[in-house]
Amino acid sequence: MVKNATEIFSSIRAEVEQISADWESFAAKVGAELPASYQAELQQLATDLTDAKDVLCDELAHPTLILATTGTTSSGKSTLVNLLCGAEILPVAVQEMSAGVVTVEYGETPALAIHDTPGAMWKCGRWDNLSDGDIYDRLDRLMKTYLQSKEDEQTGVACPQSTIYYPFRLVKESNLLDLPPGTTVKIMDLPGLAYVGDEGNAAVIRNSRDALCLVTYNSAETDRYKVAKLLDEVVEQVKELGGSPARMLFVLNRIDVFRTDKDWPESEERFVQRTEKDIKAKLADYLPEYTDEIENVQIVKLSALPALLSLGMKSDRSAATRLDKNFNFLIPEDILDDLPRNVQKWSEYECGRVADAVWQTSYADRFHSHLRNHVQVNFPQLITPQIISKFKDAAGYRLTEWATQTTRAVINSSEEKYQQECKLIETTKVDLSSFIKARATELKEPFDRIDSILNDRDSTVNPLEQVEQIITKLKTTEGYYQPIARSLSPIYDWQRTVTEGVQKTLDPVLDSLEKGKILLDSHTFSATKSIHVKLLEGHLQDLIELNYKNKAGKQVEARTEQEKKDLQRLNRKLNELANVLKLIIDDVVEQILNREMNRVRDTLENLFAFHLDTLKNGTQEISINLGINFSESELIKVDFMGKSNFSFEAGFPVTIGTWEQPKTVKTGTERVWWTAWIWKRDVTEIRMEKLSSENAKIPSIDELARGWKLQKDYGEVEVLKQVGSWFQKQLSKFNQSVDRFQSDIVQIIFWFRA
């Protein structure tokens, strides 16, 4: 059984205290044998150790648990947050309301703070002593104002950021999570996918990497096409949150939808099993570096709204009315038979009986049990590695290096041994440099080959295919990367995600043109600016009205002025469609890159950590007892800034042609006999007149698709070059840091022993 957080934290404190005691004993014994010149350094090491120990113990005594909530479309995420708080304080609506980040912190007096954000069209500040309804209404107005600003295409308005201070039940009822004393709890209601790219939101999400996450899924959706999209959303939500899915609890919300089935227990269980299987398969496909953790992710059932109403109905009769009206089927029949049909006539005892029953039938009790276990298992694992790593960097590594170097220097303090030691250090320096250089070459080898392919302008082979061959080998390599091959998937998997994101944008556009109606229902479009989507819809509508569907693939000869105008307009609209498509795909790709590069950053840091471990093992064999150690906090620094620049064309060449039509031409006059040759009449003949036309071959849907695919591939190569260049810079920067760090350490050792 996993130890709870209190036991784990106590164990770490005890170990650190033992390290401190052992150092004091060691320093006292060694210090007595050292010259007086060493005493100041010994004292400084002791001070650093004490400071690092105090920081560690303080962080263990006052840890912060962050519960971050996110979810798929219409999954009831905000209702879940209200359930965790025990009150309806976050606005809920049929349409997406979660635009900005709302943080709920514990406070005895309810209050709301709306933070200053760029372009805010709402009042910012802090309001204390608010009722639940006041908090709800203020946030509701705030969200609606922001969403309206987006509808009005006011691009300078940033997503709102708010903090609620509230005596929420997860802290107030200490038994719900069973946390160590002194733990601070925060609930972060994260925005929907359409708003994660906002600069303010993105910063908050990046800072929530140490959070335990609740991912809600809309169980009420039964359409298989929409279910497939929900599964894609789950993956994107997980990627946005970053890190291992093991820290995420997946909540199948609105599960009460199956209660209307005749055999609801069976249909509900089939749904849960199928959805769990689908979610795990989807996650494993897109996050292969976490395959083992994904198999053990927790997926739980919940009906958040009736559970919330059951909490409130004991003190609020309106909650009982809503529960009876909308979720009457969750009340067991034996209780229903005993109840007056008028909710207002329910006694306090009857309200309590219904509340307790619905708490069970909504699976709220099981959900809280899973949540408590999720926290107990994962919370310590999230915070202790960072705390311990900081302790090692602040004091641990220095103590080890000093102890090793000092004792060896004292042992070899004679002149003869001193000269031997200098010679050993010089030899070791050469061997270390050769070893580190060889490992650096192995580290960079696949990236160098990819860089060479991308910059080979004379190659006639598709560079994407060549890169894929290298990637395939990297996945199955038996060489340097083999021990961590599976965990490296984000380094190359980001490319597939970009390709799919672009294709999911192109396909609905092609479908709309082929079927003659606008079908932009892909959630991929939520990643782009609404003004661009509206432009796209407008151009598609114009093409539909110009009958592009029936003209596609045909040779057109525009003879009349109106026909020429229609042809020119069709050409212009296709070009405008391609131009706005470029803007949308640039938006989509940049958001995908921002999300995927978070995974890549984590993977590169893990790769660098693996490389450092390899160096440590090798240097220990080469430089026995020199005490060389590489500090990860000093060497691993990774960031990324990328831009997408796709280009699409859809127009067609127009040529000038001629055509002939019959025309009656007067050639003279003649007298008519029946008028006694008095009257004359015109003499005419029919001649063929040549007129100009504008001719064009209208591209078919298939031709558009093929052309866009080629242009898409070219754009992806350009993105790949950017990322490849970034890889090269990071690897070079890392290897230079290793070289510099190793040289500095050896030089310090040399000076120190001299």
User: What does the pLDDT look like over 195-234, one tens digit per residue?
Assistant: 666 666 666 666 667 788 899 999 998 777 778 888 888 8
Per residue in 399-438, pLDDT tens?
Answer: 766 666 666 555 555 545 545 555 655 666 666 677 777 8
**pLDDT value of position 748:** 44
Tell which residue, 265, 372, 268, 364, has the closest CA to residue 323: 364
pTM: 0.80
Does residue 754 have a pLDDT over 50?
Answer: no
**pLDDT value of position 753:** 44
Alpha-helical runs (H) found in 213-363 = 224-241, 264-286, 291-295, 304-312, 317-326, 333-336, 348-361
**703 compared with 689, residue with greater pLDDT:** 703
Ranges 369-378, 487-496, 504-513, 616-625: which has the least confidence: 616-625
Share the mean pLDDT of the chain.
Answer: 80
**35 compared with 553, residue with greater pLDDT:** 553
Using DSSP, how many helices (H) and how many strands (E) does the chain show?
23, 12
Distance CA 753, CA 90 (A): 65
Backbone angles phi, psi at 688, to 5 degrees: -90, 120
- C-beta of residue 700 within 8 angstroms of C-beta of residue 558: no
Distance CA 139, CA 142 (A): 5
Query: What is the amino acid identity at position 646?
Result: F
**pLDDT value of position 661:** 62
Does residue 701 have a pLDDT over 90?
Answer: no
**pLDDT value of position 113:** 96
Task: Work out the average pLDDT over 351-375.
Answer: 94
Q: In DSSP terms, which residues pair with 64 in a beta bridge?
A: 184
User: Helix, strand, or coil here: 197?
Assistant: coil
**135 compared with 566, residue with greater pLDDT:** 135
Tell which residue, 77, 381, 424, has the closest CA to residue 243: 381
Q: Which residues contact 116 (CB under 8 A, 6 or more apart)?
A: 124
- C-beta of residue 33 within 8 angstroms of C-beta of residue 25: no
Band (526; pLDDT cuts 50, 70, 90): confident
Indicate the Cα dihedral angle 707, 713, 716, 721, nearest 10°.
-130
Per residue in 109-152, pLDDT tens?
Answer: 999 999 998 888 889 999 999 999 999 999 999 988 888 887 77
Does residue 659 have a pLDDT over 60?
Answer: no
Task: Work out the average pLDDT over 515-527.
Answer: 81
Say what percent of the chain tops pLDDT 70: 79
Task: Work out the average pLDDT over 674-680.
Answer: 61
Band (749; pLDDT cuts 50, 70, 90): very low
**pLDDT value of position 468:** 72
Band (457; pLDDT cuts 50, 70, 90): low
Ranges 82-96, 208-222, 649-663: which has the least confidence: 649-663
Ranges 250-254, 317-321, 440-444: which has the least confidence: 440-444
Tell which residue, 262, 256, 521, has the closest CA to residue 363: 256
Task: Work out the average pLDDT over 347-368.
Answer: 93
Backbone angles phi, psi at 199, to 5 degrees: -55, -45
Q: Tell me how many degrees the CA angle 194-195-198 measures, rounded to the nearest 5.
A: 140
Q: In DSSP terms, which residues pair with 693 in a beta bridge?
A: 657
Per residue in 507-520, pLDDT tens?
Answer: 999 999 999 999 88
Task: Work out the average pLDDT over 235-253.
Answer: 85
Tokens of 263: 């055999």
Does residue 545 have a pLDDT over 60?
Answer: yes
Does residue 529 have a pLDDT over 90?
Answer: no
